[in-house]
Amino acid sequence: MSEKTKRIDLRSYLKGDSNNIKLIAMLLLSFAVLCIATKGAFFSGNQVVLIAYLFPEMGILALGMMLAMISGGIDLTVVAVADLAGILSCMFMKAIMPEGAGLAVQAAVLVITLLFSMGVGAICGIFSGSLISRVGIPAMVATLGASDIILGLAVGITNGSSIKDLPPILNQVVNYRLLGFIPVTTLVFAACAGVVAFILNKTALGFKIYMIGSNQTAARYSGVNNAKILTLTYMISGMLSSISGLLMCGHFNSARSDFGKSYLTPSILICVLAGVNPNGGKGKVAGLVIAVIILQTLSSGFALFQNISDYYKNLIWGLVLIVVMIINVTSERMRAKKAGK
């Protein structure tokens, strides 16, 4: 490829995806501000590795949320599914792990547990997806109700207490750093993001998800089986949530019905920040990845300041969400006006 075509590609890329450039600028800015505010303490390899270790839990939930939002709905069950899948798979793993098993057996058990967990997520997703697509309940209410049912199951099963004494392999794997610095969680996130990007960009399913999100009626009359596609969308979202749930269990080395509680607003915030249109039809994985890292950077940054209590986090997330929505909407309207002229 010649130098010239490359440059043109880059320019058209910049034009088409100005949102990503904005996001990268925001990421660098927030990083710089935090470095200055902490007098350079924030700019350390440890901090970067810590951010890379922590963001996948939230990020994978946001990936599921994004799929639902692109299809024109919303998935409020992500947190509940993560909790239920975490609890059930921890119980499952404890039950099938043989005493004094070798490393190979332990690894095999872990893989089976992961599959089991994704199965739980898929069932939950199919449940809420069917409520939306076949029973016809609006996505918001359906997932609100389904989330109560799923979380209710989690609370009921555990009586609200936590499941401890897990086989150590889960914690070891989740906390493992490849080559000493790449956290396994980051690799898991990269795999999930890759799969979602592949589905959205390269498969008929992804194209149909965008179609349904832009105009459900038009999609149906063009021969798209809306019910099937929507159920699949929520199923994938459920599977992603369950992976995140397993990561949380590994991180805390236990399972509880309220681990993910604080992740719901941030995961919606990440999607909105990433430029996913809450009305459907728009959104890219690349933007989401940057948005997740921004949020985790800010979150880790706040943790360094002793005088900012955790409670202010809510306030800041809410403010950022509202401000980003205002910016997105006004800039889109200005663009539409320009195009109209």
Partner 1 sequence: MDIKKILKRNEFYVSIIIVALALLIQIKSGQFFTSNNIMDLVRSLIVPGMMAAGLFMVIASGNIDVSFPYTAMLCMFGITKLFQVIDYQGPVVLGFLLAAVIGAFLGLINGVLAAWLKLPTLIITLGTCAIYLGFTQGVLKSSVISVLPDPLADMAAHTLFTVRSATTGLGSSMPISIVMLIGTLLVVGFIMKYTMLGRGIYAVGGDPVAAERVGFNVSAIRIFVFTFMGLIGGVTGLTQVTLSGMCQINFFDGYEMTIIAAVVLGGASIAGGSGTVFGTFLGVLLMKLISNNLILLGIPTNWSKLMTGVLIIAGVSASAYKAVLSEKRVSGNILKTGEKEAKQ
Under the rule (CB under 8 A), what is the footprint of partner 1?
74, 131, 134-138, 140-142, 144-153, 155-156, 159-160, 220, 264-265, 268-269, 272, 278-279, 309, 311-319, 321-322, 325-326, 329
Question: Considering beta carbons, is residue 151 or 170 the nearer one to partner 1?
Answer: 151
Name, in order, each residue with C-beta under 8 angstroms of 256's C-beta and a sequence gap of 6 or more: 83, 87, 158, 161, 162, 163
Beta carbon of residue 19, minimum distance to partner 1 (angstroms, whole number): 16
Q: Which helix (H) or strand (E) holds 177?
A: strand 177-178
Beta carbon of residue 15, minimum distance to partner 1 (angstroms, whole number): 25
Question: Considering beta carbons, is residue 183 or 280 the nearer one to partner 1?
Answer: 280
Three-class SS of residue 42?
Answer: coil
Question: Considering beta carbons, is residue 177 or 313 the nearer one to partner 1?
Answer: 313
Name, in order, each residue with C-beta under 8 angstroms of 174's C-beta and a sequence gap of 6 or more: 184, 185, 247, 250, 251
Beta carbon of residue 109, minimum distance to partner 1 (angstroms, whole number): 29
Report how far apart, in Å, the C-alpha atoms of 16 and of each of 10, 11, 13, 284 are.
10, 9, 5, 12
Beta carbon of residue 137, minimum distance to partner 1 (angstroms, whole number): 4
Beta carbon of residue 165, minimum distance to partner 1 (angstroms, whole number): 22
Alpha carbons 263 and 258: distance in angstroms, whole number: 10
Beta carbon of residue 325, minimum distance to partner 1 (angstroms, whole number): 6
Contact by Cβ (8 Å): 60, 192: yes
Beta carbon of residue 279, minimum distance to partner 1 (angstroms, whole number): 7
Look at the block and give the residue holding tokens 């159920």. Answer: 231
Alpha carbons 271 and 72: distance in angstroms, whole number: 13
Alpha carbons 66 and 62: distance in angstroms, whole number: 6
Question: Considering beta carbons, is residue 53 or 317 the nearer one to partner 1?
Answer: 317
Q: Which helix (H) or strand (E) holds 183?
A: strand 182-183
128: Cα separation from own chain's centroid: 18
Question: Considering beta carbons, is residue 150 or 236 the nearer one to partner 1?
Answer: 150
Question: Considering beta carbons, is residue 100 or 340 the nearer one to partner 1?
Answer: 340
Question: Considering beta carbons, is residue 65 or 184 the nearer one to partner 1?
Answer: 65
Beta carbon of residue 106, minimum distance to partner 1 (angstroms, whole number): 33
Alpha carbons 302 and 222: distance in angstroms, whole number: 49
Size of the chain, expressed as the number of residues it contains: 341
- The backbone region for 100, taken as left when phi is positive above 0, alpha when psi lies in -120 to 50, beta otherwise, is left
Question: Considering beta carbons, is residue 17 or 148 the nearer one to partner 1?
Answer: 148
